Structure 1
């Protein structure tokens, strides 16, 4: 029988070690306590938000005699360039730099309000709307005119709209301008900076331009000190067409003569002087507005005409754009299985995966493939608003359009403000191409831009030298002089790219290469001019393109099919954060949260200028030293 082993006494702990061990235990306990408090605090906050949402009973019913207040702020876009969480955070923190308004949302609200008996009238304030072009504005103007024709009164107010925003305000029954405001129509202008002297003479940077087409002026600022004769000729031609159409649209809405408006611009100095320098009074004299009233006076007027409501920020029964869209979304048409899918290609065309607001050779192709593989999708509308970009990425997307047609699904292109160069490349093979008369299109051409900094380095005493196994090893290095034979290689690539472009357009449009070359060579056209030259089939907006696609797929009336936008899917986390930030409790918490502000500042995307696109294209060569670009610096 074994004897029990007596316990071994634990060694006596050193007092110093015991102190530090105890201190560590206290710190560890405190750490766990703080984390637990933070966890349960956030959990409690989320539960409060959830209960608030449930207790609110969802969207409150819209009352009769409601005024729809349309006061959009930010850039007018085809597609949001940020995710829902970022947008909700920006709104909660009052960051207006990130504000964007989707064209489709405004059109949907106006279309619904036309037949909505609960909407009595519309208050329109577009001072803070930043449009990107006249095609989208004219589409909105048509929707406003249709709403007005349906018997819904539209009252517009402005504290100082620009001429682009005024195109929308002019559609109203009554246009009021603040007495201290101003409104000037000045015409369209397109001016750019030219860098040849600064680059070549000051910095010693030589820029080599390779292109096909004397009108392909995208990169002229890097090799000239002023616009070429061809660039001025082409720009004035399409801009003059768009401007005359603008005058016609304003004159029709205001019951004036286009010549009368043009005369007011030509005699602007005398007219303003006669009005005592009062721009608001001058606008009234020109009959561009119906009266001079403050915002408070306009709101009081609408309160008299509508239903006064002390709880409303406007003083009358109203619903804003976001609230009205919630009303429309409360009854989605999910039961319709047959679909017309809309894929948006907005922004510069680059290779690979690109976020919303840009066009990626891989990512946009993936969206088109999704439409092809979905049996519920019977037709596709490709909405294009792009200045173009990389040729290969454009070709990837064009191939997917062809694949859709081969799968028996009609494809109709709807051009927005801009569908030029690479933007036209991805459009050309559609069954039908729609554009607004003021769309900027064409620019069928290719260019390559190669900077060389050898002379600049020489100025600071830096020289490049080394060896290579062949005469062309390292020949594309921008710190070495450009060999003329290398220039021949690049020009051959550009020539081939232009031949591909014109050949594919000729095949897609049923024309000869010579006919396409005659309207190509980099020249830009308005939508109306493009139609006259066979580059566009019909003049019309997105609704017309959708109706055409549905008719080609034999889907019946609009009540028989559903329109669905195919876009990048939002992650569950983005949905949750967006929902939380969009709630009243979440917005109130984020508004006072320094942490949230720092998080937003880091998450917000930076605005990329056109030079950034060129820089990225030069850096990202995908294993090839030469990359052809089909890009158009032709926006207004």
Structure 2
């Protein structure tokens, strides 16, 4: 109840403050605020004390870009005093690498959480590599949690010392992927579904027409899970002095290990309480036992240290720019929302960068399950045209599949992580109608038309056989174009592309073996390769696009200037399942292709 009033009050005051700012300050006041922000931006940033420990809170989400905040959300965040639970991937990597060389940073504390972040698998890979580089400098890493999830443990396993609470447990039981099927609900509510598709593995339509996973989808999902799990074990094994076979045996025979069993299995080093870890960190930083805490700086705060910002930006005085463009979300026609990849909006951004002589190379960071086929083609065309004028490199994130692969294939080079989910080269059409739903509620329709297909886009009735044949022909044509373009862009025989396409999903490591991806490396490697390809030496700087999204976010971040505990609370299982349903329905809302034809990953593929 206290939190309810806290956030409600913050939201109310935020809204009133926003109105007051606009009405009370006027144009001159806004100019003053902008000037204040510019002045604040030159602040020296957080101060790092001698013998500090960098604190990495595992409640933090590591994403490619910061989530978009509305005015109200940004105001509430500022007024409530809660620290954003998200850090961008490049900021996190550069902060860890800078801290590794910072003489004032003497160690790192990986702080477990009861509500761990949901960082994607590929991003986890890059963060773990940065943690490993930190450890290789000889600086100590200590990790503590009550209950270790597999994602948390993947990062925590880098530590010199892993501590678990006496009543804690560690999850080490493998990976799984569950699909939610909606066909039964559609039948119950009278929503009709008709599909067209190409590719026996193109399983994106299955939730709408089946009640269980098809054999083909089960086959591809199992292969994907094995690839990802294999890389997971390969990274953890040397850190813990164990073999992959020993780790697999633990997963098969135990799965969930209580604290003492985790020590016996060598997954953790010792059992202990937080206060004991706190005492150890006090000793490490030269504090006395009666001091309240140890000398520390959070990873979130450390990203704002000037040296970290300089590393991330490159040579800020250089006139040569490397543009890092983020393509994150569903691919939709038009401009889309800030959380989507609008085909027209991204194409316009790429066109502008292509024509900017100061931009010497482009890194397109793709984190998308795909979406509209026509929007993917609009973006893909601009990628191809950019390649003709300057280097354009694709860095694949957690997912770059189907339409996400379409917009990637024409780049000079494609980089991915081993756990990137890509491929899914296939096309499908999904056509909904509400005839039965309407009829059961007393609603009917009648149509007058000139031309057999004049009402093709009508959702009040099922499509006729002739209409389905027409749409299937369109799907076949787009699929043929897709595999032909992949063969040309990747310099592969068309027969091979036809074999490995079929809508099948691949891991990054498998995609490299098949020729769909060039190299296994992260976003920083892609940026360095872009600079090398453009022959810039060290004379370049990085600029990220799209630019900062709103004025109010800058104002509130500047005015708050504080770092607080990340505000999280565990979600009950029923709410968590309902949120999954909301995500499924959100995917349906993003399906705005005028002909209902999509190049998209299987809907909301989740790996737990």
Partner of 1:20: none
Q: Which moved more, 1:321-330 or 1:386-395?
A: 321-330
1:380 aligned to which of 354, 362, 367: 362
One of 136, 149, 153 as aligned partner of 1:162: 149
1:192 counterpart = 2:185? no
Matches within 5 A, 1:198-347: 198-200=185-187, 202-268=188-254, 279-308=258-287, 315-328=293-306, 332=310, 333-347=315-329
What does the per-residue CA deviation read over 1:271-328, in whole Å, with 9 as the maximum and x for residues that have no partner?
Answer: x7xxxxx722222222111112222211110111213289986x11111123212223
| Structure 1 residue aligned with 2:574 | none
**Are the counterparts in 1 of residues 68 and 549 from structure 2 also a CA contact under 8 Å?**
no
Would the aligned equivalents of 2:53 and 2:296 in 1 still touch at CA under 8 Å? yes
Corresponding residue SS for 1:342: strand
Change (3 A) 1:513 1:57: closer
Distance across 1 between alignment mates of 2:384 and 2:454:
39
1:138 is the counterpart of 2:125: yes
Structure 1 residue 509, shift from structure 2 partner: 0.7
**Larger mean Cα displacement after TM superposition, 148-157 or 57-66:** 57-66
Aligned to 1:562: 541
Give the CA deviation at 1:74.
4.2
1:427 is matched with which residue: 396, 400, 408? 408
Aligned to 1:487: 468
**CA offset at residue 355 of structure 1?**
4.5
1:338–1:296: structure 2 CA closer, same or farther, 3 Å change rule? same
Displacement of 1:131: 3.0
1:440-498 Cα shifts (integer Å, max 9, x gaps): 11000111101233234344444333432333332432222321101011111111111
Contact kept, 8 Å, 1:79 with 1:357, in 2: the verdict is no
CA distances 1:93-119 after superposition (whole Å, capped 9, x unpaired): 2568x7322111211111111211111
2:85 matched to 1:103?
no
Which residue in 1 is equivalent to 2:588?
614
The alignment status of 1:478 with 2:459, answered yes or no, reads yes
Partner of 2:495: 514
Task: Tell me the distance in 1 between the aligned counterparts of 2:124 and 2:132.
Answer: 12
User: What is the aligned counterpart of 1:118 among 104, 116, 119?
Assistant: 104
Cα-to-partner distance string for 1:110-154 (whole Å, 9 max, x where unaligned): 111121111111111253442343211111111111111111211
Confirm or deny: 8 A CA contact 2:303 2:309 kept in the other structure: no
Call closer, same or farther: CA 1:367–1:473 in 2, change over 3 Å.
closer
Seen in structure 2, the aligned counterparts of structure 1 residues 309 and 570 have a Cα distance that, compared at 3 Å, is farther
Aligned 8 A contact 1:342 1:382 in 2? yes
Q: Distance in 2 between matches of 1:461 and 1:186?
A: 52
Q: TM-score, normalised by structure 2?
A: 0.85
CA 1:319–1:350 in 2, change beyond 3 Å: closer, same or farther?
same
Structure 1 residue 215: deviation in Å? 0.2
C-alpha distance in 1, partners of 2:582/2:82?
A: 18
Coordinate RMSD, CA, aligned = 3.1
**CA, structure 1 residues 69+308, in 2 after alignment: closer, same or farther (shift >3 Å)?**
same
Q: 1:318-361: per-residue Cα shift (whole Å, max 9, x none)?
A: 11123212223687442122232211111111122234443121
Report the equivalent of 2:169.
182
Q: Secondary structure at the match of 2:171?
A: coil
Query: Which blocks of at least 5 consecutive residues in structure 2 are unaligned?
Result: 1-19, 568-579
Offset, 1:573:
4.2
TM-score with structure 1 length normalisation?
Answer: 0.81
SS of alignment partner, residue 398 of structure 2: strand
Pairs within 5 Å for 1:69-80: 69-80=55-66
Computing the radius of gyration from Cα coordinates, the structure with the larger value is 1
Q: CA deviation at 1:398?
A: 1.3
Contact residue 79 and residue 102 of structure 1 kept, 8 A: yes
Give the Å deviation of 1:64: 2.3
1:352 matched residue in structure 2: 334
Distance of 2:108 and 2:225 partners within structure 1: 32
Q: How does 1:540-555 map to 2 (within 5 A)?
A: 540-555=521-536
User: In structure 1, how many angstroms separate the alpha carbons of the residues matched to 2:473 and 2:288?
Assistant: 70
How many residues in Structure 1 have an aligned counterpart in Structure 2?
559
Range that drifts further, 301-310 or 158-167? 301-310
Indicate conservation of the 8 Å contact 2:192/2:462, yes or no: no
Task: Flag the 1:100–1:323 CA change in 2: closer, same or farther, 3 A.
Answer: closer
CA gap of 1:218–1:429, structure 2 versus 1, over 3 A, is same
Q: Which segment drifts farther, 218-227 or 456-465?
A: 456-465
Give the 3 Å change call, closer, same or farther, for CA 575–311 of structure 1 in structure 2: farther
**Alpha-carbon separation, structure 2, partners of 1:475 and 1:344:** 36
